[in-house]
Structures are given as structure tokens and as C-alpha cells.
Chain A
Amino acid sequence: GEDVEQSLFLSVREGDSSVINCTYTDSSSTYLYWYKQEPGAGLQLLTYIFSNMDMKQDQRLTVLLNKKDKHLSLRIADTQTGDSAIYFCAGSNQAGTALIFGKGTTLSVSS
């Protein structure tokens, strides 16, 4: 079945760029998603990319999609302490009935 893999931790300094990577096995997902979870809260949809696109930029966020390698990344420019959170990538299951989430990458931003 579909599998989504992410590195578990990333630590950066304030003002640097952060790059969170994700690989997936099933390429049938029409969209791929990035979610942010702050401590004690639910998941917030950050951005998504249509599977026919290579890149999407939204203010400080840049999503890159390499369909050939089944690799998705989220770049956060000028990372701030408020960006500290867990970031999940997700894609649809084959039936299109649910999303498959990675285990999440904990981003720690130090000042």
C-alpha cells in the first residue's frame, strides 16, 4: 500500500531556510499536501501542490515535486521561531478515500 516517509527532526537557526523532505510510493495522488501541527493543536493545511506541477510558491513557502523520484519538499524561507512545529506531508490512498500521512518532521528553530 501507499507509504509516505519523512525525516523525523530538523533543527535550524532563525533566519535560515528550512527544507523538509518527503518520499512517497504511490503516484496516483492528484494532490500532495503539507500540514503543520503546533503543540496541542490539530493539523493545519499549509499548502498543497497539484501532481502535474513541479513547483508552487506561497509567500515564504516553496513546494517542489519530483514525480520521477516521488519526492516532495517544503522549503520555508527566513524561518522564524513561530515556525517551530511538526510538519506532515500527505497524499491520497489508491481508492481516493483517505489521506496517507508521513510520521511528521519536528522542526526546531533556535534564535
Chain B
Amino acid sequence: SQTIHQWPATLVQPVGSPLSLECTVEGTSNPNLYWYRQAAGRGLQLLFYSVGIGQISSEVPQNLSASRPQDRQFILSSKKLLLSDSGFYLCACTGLTGAQHFGDGTRLSIL
């Protein structure tokens, strides 16, 4: 079964600083990969998904970007963070039956 690794687990960054969150997947090949954001007390917002290396689909216009340099690596980035980028960021990959399996998340606080 798949294992999704996310790091760091928590991150505190100043407004205007850059961001790089990494997600790697083990136990599968050519997975669909996803980045979600969960604001405090709210549901999941799909940010990006990728069906293959170099293929990124963006669901909402925003201050963030994503890249997939390798089959099992998905990176979420920003050049200049905004206060509104605070939240809990979750990476997921698709398994059998179409279910998504999630990493443990990165809690991002912007000061």
C-alpha cells in the first residue's frame, strides 16, 4: 500500500518569504497526486492535482504553484507568502477504487 511523506510537519514563515513543501510517495508508481489546503474549522480545498510528471492542473487561482519533477514527488511552492496562505496543507495520492490516501500534513503559519 502507498505511504505518503510530507515535510516539514510545521512551518512558521514571515509574510513575503518563499515556500517549498515537499511530498513523496512510496509503494506505487504513476500515481495521481494532489495538494489540498484546509483552513481552520473548514473543509478541504483542492489546490492542484497531477496525473504525471510535469502535468499540473490548478483548481483555483492563487499565490501558490506546484511542480512534479519526478513520478513520486510533488512540490508546493510560493515566491512570496501572504497571510491568507496560512493553513493545513495535505498531500494525497490515488489508490485502488479511486480512494485518496493522505499524508500527515504540514501546518503553515504566516506571521
Contact = CB atoms under 8 A, between A and B. Distances in A.
Interface of A: 30-31, 33, 35, 40-45, 48, 88, 90, 92, 96-99, 101-104
Contacts, number: 51
Interface of B: 4, 6, 32, 34, 42-44, 46, 49, 51, 57, 59, 90, 92, 97-105, 107
Interface majority SS (helix, strand, loop, mixed), chain B = strand
Given A43-B90, A88-B44, A102-B43, A97 B100 contact: no
Contacts of B107: 40
A45 B101 CA distance: 7
A1 to B, nearest CB: 11
A26 to B, nearest CB: 14
20 contacts: A31-B98, A40-B105, A41-B104, A42-B6, A42-B90, A42-B102, A42-B103, A43-B102, A44-B102, A88-B43, A88-B44, A97-B51, A97-B57, A98-B34, A98-B59, A99-B98, A99-B100, A101-B43, A103-B42, A104-B43
